[in-house]
Amino acid sequence: MSRIYTIKNKLEESRLFLNRIIAAFVVMLLLTSGLIVRLVYLQIVGHEHYATLAKDNSIKIEPLVPTRGIIYDRHGKVLADNTQSFSLELIPEQIKDLDDTLQRLQKLLNISDEKIDQYQKQRKRQKRFVSTPLLISMTDEEIAKFAVVRPYFPGVDIQTRLVRHYPYAELASHVVGYVARINETEMKSLPVAEYRGSTHVGKIGIESTYETELHGKTGYAEIETNVQARAINTVNSVPPVPGENLYLTLDIDLQKTAYDTLGDYNGAIVAIEVKTGGVLVFASRPGFDPNPFVIGIANDAYQALQSSENQPLYNRALRGLYPPGSTAKPFVALAGLEYNAISPEHKIFCPGYYQLPNVSHHYRDWKKGGHGSVNMSEAITQSCDVYFYSLASTLGIDRMHSFLQHFGFGEKSGIDLVGEKQGLLPSREWKRNQRNQSWYPGETLITGIGQGFLQVTPIQLARATATLANKGKVVSPFLVRHTPDPDATAPVIENLELNPENINTITAAMVNVIHDAHGTAKSIGKNISYQIAGKTGTAQVFNIKQDAKYNENDIDFKLRDHALFISFAPADDPKIAVAVVVENGGHGGSVAAPMAGQVIKQYLEGNNEN
């Protein structure tokens, strides 16, 4: 078998190798040129742009949450402050088995499943290296238990935080309100920049109405971080502006007196400075402790508050709607004088009932045998229903509606709290629009004694009383003075320009309610050096049939009449006006009037700084 030999061409091989070298050199030259061009662009042309991006990548903006403003009463007593609290916090990144750690902590400190769930939801919204609280406001016992086993819980530690605190608990819960964690709905409406880092927001009361002032201005810090986004150094910072401290017109000692006098009754007491409009007392009973809402109230505790038949979460002073009963009579009487529909001396015979012409129905007086022949002063003093049935019939619903509206009936008082109800002042137009019905003469009669469709709130009734005491000058009730000056006043909204003689006539009759032997509240007029002008009221909770007899001992407590009382003092130079509503209290003279008497006595005779 023959072999075939290939003769190598060295010249050709040399040329091929040289071409490859040249090609590789050209490629390397092009790549090097591209790299140089890119470096020139990065270092010179695009330096400013990429330097900014690099800085943004290494500098993080952290919000600095402002300290919430403190709320004081008129004498400087703290109603809401910020207290140092100890919280148990976990850093998930430093914990190998988070579930196991939570189980051991739960067993050690008896932590509820609800709080564990809350922690899990909260930590998932944050980075793993951020310290997240599991327990807030730890007790001394909890702190001691954890301190013993602390070495066995890496990544778990006790930190200090500022927590909102309400030292008077339920006493001022409805007026001061409370803060709680921001929910998803609120987060969408709150300013993002101002609430970065904030966890709580005012929910009700002053805390809600003045949220912007109390919250303050959020600051920020420029934090240098590493590639894992951990803080290394603070480059720059703008400190937060603390929230504004608020000074209320409320007198917490007077508030306590009012709250305590209600005792076991549900109801409300509101007291207003006549000349300024400042609210001295704004008590709604029962109240509730707002402190658990700050740290996160347990679900069963919240459900207990909501389901309670006494409705402790309901602000009766602001939102409670009640028939004013006979407390409306002074205003109806004044309407009669102002419209010249009746004179003070004119007498009306009261046989114990009133009848409309050609109508058999008897509109009964509270006194079965009647009051006999009474003039205006006697009718107010003895609270004669028949007199006011007759006067209401003479005035008519149109004039009564127009006059009572000037005193704020059927309108919001304008107090600086969110959620006020406006009550109901009925009229022909209202009934036609709301019920598609005509107005009947009998409805005019019962409106004249504060019953029927007429409904007022305690703050509304207090404002009307203050207007009467102020001789027709209307001031808007307010709680926040915006200044430590206790003499700060609210502007007069309107001057009703009432006849002074008519005002004096009504005031004199209201003085007789307390200081006359026949007065329905004569028990509170003893052993005082000044005169109180007032009017008792009893409002029916349900209608009684024509021939039925009302006996409060034979009916369920919740169906008993409400007891009301309005007053101002001293009668000759009014300084304070008070409205009391006692649910199912029965009698204004024996139940509601003494409560107002205690408030007035403490304000005028006590150690209050006026």
DSSP line for 175-230: HH-EEEE--HHHHHHS-TTTTTT--EEEEEHHHHHTHHHHH-B-EEEEEEE-TT--
Final residue belonging to a domain, choices 231, 247, 263: 247
SS3 for 244?
A: coil
Q: Are both 117 and 174 inside the same structural domain?
A: yes
pLDDT in tens, 248-293: 999 999 999 999 999 999 999 999 999 999 999 999 999 999 999 9
pLDDT over threshold 50, residue 16: yes
pLDDT over threshold 60, residue 429: yes
Band (543; pLDDT cuts 50, 70, 90): low
243: in domain: yes
18: in domain: no
Q: What is the mean pLDDT of residues 64-86?
A: 93
467: in domain: yes
Residue 277 belongs to what domain range?
252-303+313-605
* Top-confidence range, 53-62, 100-109, 594-603: 594-603
pLDDT in tens, 370-382: 999 999 999 999 9
pLDDT at residue number 610: 43
214: in domain: yes
Q: Are both 437 and 533 inside the same structural domain?
A: yes
Q: Are both 352 and 243 inside the same structural domain?
A: no
pLDDT at residue number 4: 56
Domain CATH for 478: 3.40.710.10
Structural domain total, the chain:
2
SS3 for 106?
A: helix
Q: Are both 481 and 449 inside the same structural domain?
A: yes
pLDDT at residue number 178: 97
Percent of the chain at pLDDT > 70 equals: 88
Q: Are both 169 and 317 inside the same structural domain?
A: no
Q: Token match 């903006």: residue?
A: 61
Band (213; pLDDT cuts 50, 70, 90): very high
Band (484; pLDDT cuts 50, 70, 90): low
Final residue belonging to a domain, choices 207, 222, 247: 247
Q: What is the mean pLDDT of residues 97-107?
A: 91
Q: Are both 186 and 203 inside the same structural domain?
A: yes
Final residue belonging to a domain, choices 200, 226, 247: 247
Q: Are both 239 and 289 inside the same structural domain?
A: no
Q: Are both 132 and 263 inside the same structural domain?
A: no
Instruction: Give the lowest-confidence range in 295-299, 365-369, 386-390, 474-478.
Output: 295-299
pLDDT at residue number 202: 95
Q: Are both 333 and 234 inside the same structural domain?
A: no
- Residue 148: C-alpha distances to residues 116, 137, 139 (Å): 22, 19, 15
78: in domain: yes
pLDDT at residue number 94: 83
30: in domain: no
Q: Are both 237 and 257 inside the same structural domain?
A: no
CA-closest candidate to residue 417, choices 494, 486, 317, 485: 317
Instruction: Give the lowest-confidence range in 251-260, 296-305, 549-558.
Output: 549-558
Taking the CA atoms of 514, 515, 520 and 525 in sequence, report the sign of the dihedral they define: positive
Q: Token match 């969110």: residue?
A: 418
The model's pTM: 0.83
pLDDT at residue number 609: 45
Q: Are both 371 and 231 inside the same structural domain?
A: no
pLDDT in tens, 493-535: 788 999 999 999 999 999 999 999 999 999 999 889 999 999 9
11: in domain: no
Q: Are both 152 and 258 inside the same structural domain?
A: no
Positions marked catalytic? 326
Domain CATH for 126: 3.90.1310.10
41: in domain: no
Q: If you average pLDDT over every residue of the chain, what do you get?
A: 88
Q: What is the mean pLDDT of residues 423-443?
A: 95
